[in-house]
Amino acid sequence: MDTIIRDARKEDMPAVLELIKELAAFEKEPDAVITTVETLEKEGFGEHPLFHVFVAEVDGRIEGMALVYYRFSTWKGRTLHLEDLIVREEKRGTGLGNQLYRKVIEYAKEQGLKRVEWVVLDWNTHAIDFYKRSGANILEGWYTVQMDENGITNYVETAR
């Protein structure tokens, strides 16, 4: 198996979108993805890219990806957020996920960052156990808070 972990290119975005959709299905939200290849190309490869993607290519086919972007912590300064790390179902257990994870952590170290953070679903015990073994801290007592498009609209319209 010839494996390469590399920076994604614009022409990789159709495969990246396939992986995003596969992750959504794995996370029991198969209809939640509304982003498009065009959006990924524009936002990731424009004049001011909003994210960076690493891909795992096996025998010439993209089988996994990790999408990251910078955040700013008032306590730590610039940090890295790992939005998604996904390996195609048939390639899970081959070490591709570990290679992508390592690439993300190495990238953060190369950038001189003080923290990498991400979210993991509480039922994904396999991932949680992996993260703990890698030395990551699972923060208990913190909740991920989101407001969807309807919530944004409702809040803006009613909070005047």
Active-site residue among 101, 107, 131, 143?
131
Contact 56, 3 (CB under 8 A): yes
Residue 120's φ and ψ, nearest 5 degrees, are: -130, 140
Cα gap 81→78, rounded to integer Å: 10
Q: Is 70 one of the catalytic residues?
A: no
Tell me the pairing of strands 77-87 and 116-117.
parallel
Class of residue 94 by CB neighbours under 10 A (exposed 0-12, middle 13-18, buried 19+): middle
- Catalytic residues, by residue number, are 131
